Amino acid sequence: SKKTGRNISNIYRTGLNQLMEKRRALQADLEKALEEDEFELYYQPRINAKSLEIDSYEALLRWNHPQKGLVSPAEFIPVAEASGLIVDIDNWVFKRACRDAAEGLKGKHLSINVSPLGFQQRDFVKTIEETLEKTGTDPSQIELELTESMLIEDDERGLAVMKQLKRLGLSLALDDFGTGYSSLSYLSKYPFDTIKIDRNFVVALGQEKSAVAIMKVIIGLGKGLGMDIVAEGVETVEEAAFLRENECDQLQGYLISRPMTVEEIMHEVPLDIRC
């Protein structure tokens, strides 16, 4: 009836309003978080699949909210992206990671996530160059993790930016491979050093026959192009065994280690790797 329809639309509108109210509150909290230094970087090891030694660490953002405690990036990054605040957050992350690379994590390789909006900024390369200089960071310690969603088709500007980053001495990784359109032509067109295969793909290894075949092709292709292949989100001994047998170069995931603090890494707590 008309009445029910109106009720439903009222409920819907109330729900939407509440959702938008929550987003606005989160947005305001995020701005404060930057000013009040509530963010923290954790680092998750990436190990060499052959030697099982740590190759590098991925910087992962954590937000220590004064009331809510640790808030997951999955919750706040979409809000920061929608408002544009992600650009300031990216800059904060890059600066902090460079400082760590030059101090507590000196000599270690770090990979740093970049948001699509950050990558699109006109002064993106300049900001990175300045931060590297200011912090005294060796660029060869740093890899940037980009996603294919930041590269539009035949993206000449994106390609030029990537070449500039390479000239600075940085490495580039293609993150979340296998989640988007994943045109294989991306791999030859853009100068990536590393392909990070998304966890969904790794999970599918134990579930779908086609995933095994596709994984083998990706590893072969990446190798043929001289890239390192990293498998993300490795959780089981079976996944690790398959990836090692099939010459995946590096493994990352809870099986190897959770993201750690700089202090934990500095104390060289040995990893409990069961693969």
Q: Which chain residues interact with ligand C2E by CB under 6 A?
A: 44, 59-61, 72-74, 77, 90, 93, 113, 115, 175-176, 199, 233-235, 253-254, 259
Rounded CA gap, 199 and 202, in Å? 5
Question: Which residue, chain included where needed, has tokens 């930016």?
Answer: 161
DSSP H or E segment with residue 8: helix 2-35
Amino acid identity, residue 215?
M
Residue carrying structure tokens 């990446």: 222
Alpha carbons 227 and 218: distance in angstroms, whole number? 11
Min CB(259)–ligand C2E separation in Å: 5
Q: How far is CA 170 from the centre of its chain?
A: 16
Contact in structure between 148 and 180 (CB atoms under 8 Å) = yes
Candidates 71-79, 122-130, 220-228, 230-238; binding stretch for Ca ion (CB under 5 A): 230-238
Nearer to ligand C2E, 61 or 165 (CB): 61
For residue 101, the minimal CB distance to ligand C2E (Å) is: 14
Cβ closest to ligand C2E, residue 177 vs residue 227: 177
Structure tokens at 41: 């970087």
Cβ nearer to Ca ion, comparing 26 with 60: 60
Largest Cα span, the chain: 69
Q: Closer CB to ligand C2E, residue 139 or residue 178?
A: 178
Q: Is 214 left (phi over 0), alpha (psi -120 to 50) or beta?
A: alpha
Minimum distance from residue 111 beta carbon to Ca ion (Å): 7
Cβ neighbours for 80, distance < 8 A, ≥ 6 positions apart: 30, 86, 89
Contact by Cβ (8 Å): 91, 78? no
Q: How far is the CB of 63 from ligand C2E (least distance, A)?
A: 10
State yes or no: residue 171 binds Ca ion (CB under 5 A).
no
CB of 59 to ligand C2E, least distance (A): 6
Task: Answer yes or no whether residue 131 interacts with Ca ion by CB under 5 A.
Answer: no
What whole-number distance in Å separates Cα of residue 71 and Cα of residue 160? 35
Is 124 or 177 the residue whose CB approaches Ca ion more closely?
177
* Closer Cβ to Ca ion, 29 or 260, answer by number: 260
As given in the structure block, the two tokens for residue 114 are 């970049």
Q: Establish if 143 lies at the interface with Ca ion (CB under 5 A).
A: no
Q: Min. distance of Cβ 201 from ligand C2E in angstroms? A: 12
Nearest in space to 172 (alpha carbons), one of 182, 183, 161: 161
Residues 97-116 that bind Ca ion (CB under 5 A): 113
Of residues 176, 228, 239, 249, which one binds Ca ion by CB under 5 A? Answer: 176
Report what 90 binds from Ca ion, ligand C2E, none; CB cut-off 5-8 Å by kind. Answer: ligand C2E
Residue whose CB is less far from ligand C2E, 196 or 227: 196
Give the Cα-Cα-Cα angle 51, 175, 149 (nearest 5 degrees): 170
Cβ 19 to ligand C2E shortest distance, Å: 21
Which residues of the shown chain bind Ca ion in the complex (CB under 5 A)? 113, 145, 175-176, 232
